[in-house]
Structure 1
Amino acid sequence: MDSINFNDIFKSSILEKTSSFSIVDSLIGLLVAFVVGLFVYFVYKKTFSGVIYSHTYNISLIIMTMATALIIMGISSNVLLSLGMVGALSIVRFRTPIKDPIDIVYMFWAIVAGILCGAGFIPLAIVGSILIGLVFIIFINKITIENPYLLVIKYEDISVENSLQHVVSGHTKKHVIKSKSVMPGDDYEVTYEIRVKEADMDFINHISTIDGVKSAIMLSYDGNFTA
């Protein structure tokens, strides 16, 4: 009668997976994922141009890079585990809204870098991350884009429209009417999208002095407008 020992019991499962597991390669992959995630962290912090900086979101980019690398290491040598992982992740729903589209790009960057580190494509992850970081730094910090303004004018006499058009045309590089409405009490409101000339903001005071104009305000915005 053949005896069954410990190795025979776990021969087809635990020991085989353990023997194919390289702790050195895994540590190298996780370490590189951490370094790349740290690089993503500093690029995001340097290029952030929003209103409220979220330190927790930035930290999550580092963790996301390492966690993605860890998942790829686990499923790369087991087809069944990879299918199970895909099924498990497919039911995950993220409820936190992403307000700035650029934050989604950083999140995708962290995930892609983690996949490359976990799959062993470390040089590609490093070179690709450096190039992406340079693109972010150059296009966000070095290249300035002139945001337009919204000029909202309320007036009570339709006859002043020609005067308004003349003043706006003479003091702006580009302008277009975004909306025009009639308000209760026979008042009118017109909204221009304008791009002002260099340091020429005084014309709004001139508009306010036109007879029939009740108010004139100028707002800076990011180019999205809903009438």
Structure 2
Amino acid sequence: MMGDSLNFQDVVKKSILHFEAFRNISYIDILIGLAVSFGIGMFIYYIYRKTFRGVVYSYNYNVTFVLMSMITALIIMTISTNIVLSLGMVGALSIVRFRTAVKDPLDIVYMFWAISVGIAAGAKLYPVALLGSLAVGAALLFLSRRKIREQPYLLIIRHSDDSISELRIRLRQMNYQVKSKTVRKNFTELTLEMRLRDDNTAFVNELSRIEGVHDVSLINYTGDYAQ
């Protein structure tokens, strides 16, 4: 038992003081890992920009995915060379807290994607990083196109009582659900939820031409905030 304890202590001291594991690091492997993580990070950057459906596109937020992949790859390369460093890194990262609010739940998917790429690249699992990223990117492109085909909208109409009959006739031709109705002294405000395909919004102009309709607004609706 005493010999085993001393041997373990010697291993720990040797790992801390001499870092002999770092002598076996290949600079080519480091460059390849960083290059792979950067390339796939740029692929994530392109997919995020292509499929973005939010309110305001953020270039800085998108660039974060590229840097996140590279930094994660560096961390994995570092902790894979020394057991003491790996334990210390886990303890250091466990106290990190991020306070940035994520408005779109889909952004979390991109974060995990970038981290997964960095882990795979840092562990030299390049086929996993490449093939996995191609599969995830294809799935995101496919799902984003399905969303474009049919999207929910809020139709807000302000009208007077004189236009109610003609407006009802026109609205019967549409598939909608009444979300709210506000009656004021001079006008009535209707909020309708409907689904449209291929951005067919010509009916908005037709509704605005009805006598007694003050204004018509069409808002892309995601369920929790408008775009």
In 2, the alpha carbon distance for the partners of 1:88 and 1:100 equals 28
Aligned length: 209
Deviation of 1:21 (Å): 3.4
- Greater shift in the superposed pair: 136-145 or 97-106: 136-145
Query: The residue matched to 1:66 in structure 2 has which SS?
Result: helix
- The 5-angstrom pairing of residues 54-203 of structure 1 reads 54-140=58-144, 144-155=148-159, 157=161, 164-170=167-173, 172=174, 174-183=175-184, 185=185, 188-195=188-195, 199-203=202-206
1:225/1:89 Cα in 2 relative to 1: closer, same or farther (>3 Å)?
A: closer
Change beyond 3 A, Cα 1:47–1:149: closer
CA contact (8 A) 2:19 2:82 kept: no
Query: How many angstroms apart in 2 are the aligned matches of 1:196 and 1:141?
Result: 14
- Using structure 1 for the length normalisation, give the TM-score: 0.73
In structure 2, the CA distance between the partners of 1:15 and 1:88, relative to structure 1 (3 Å rule), is closer
Identity %: 43
**Contact 1:180–1:189 under 8 Å retained in 2:** yes
Match of 2:177, SS state, is: strand
Structure 1 CA distance for aligned equivalents of residues 221 and 51 of structure 2: 17
State the structure with more CA Rg. Answer: 1
Q: For 1:147, what is the secondary structure of its paired residue?
A: strand
| C-alpha spacing 1:181/1:83, structure 2 compared with 1 (3 Å) | farther
User: Does structure 2 conserve the Cα–Cα contact (< 8 Å) formed by 1:155 and 1:215?
Assistant: yes
* Equivalent pair of 1:151/1:216 in contact (CA under 8 Å): no
State the Cα RMSD in Å.
3.2
Gap regions ≥5 residues in structure 2? 1-12
- The TM-score, its normalising length taken from structure 2, stands at 0.73
User: Secondary structure at the residue paired with 1:191?
Assistant: strand
**Corresponding residue for 2:218?**
219
When you count helix as a share of all residues, which structure comes out higher? Answer: 2
Q: Note the alpha carbon deviations across 1:98-141, whole angstroms, 9 max, x for none.
A: 34433332222111100111122111111111222223334435
Change in CA separation of 1:162 and 1:93 when aligned onto 2, cut-off 3 Å: farther
The separation in 2 between residues aligned to 1:18 and 1:149, in whole angstroms, is 58
SS in 1 for 2:181: strand
Q: Distance in 1 between matches of 2:117 and 2:129?
A: 5
Determine helix, strand or coil for the equivalent of 1:34.
Answer: helix
Deviation at 1:72, TM superposition (A): 1.2
Q: 2-side partners of 1:15 and 1:205: how far apart? A: 75
Kindly indicate whether the alpha-carbon contact (under 8 Å) linking 1:149 and 1:218 is maintained by their aligned counterparts in 2: no
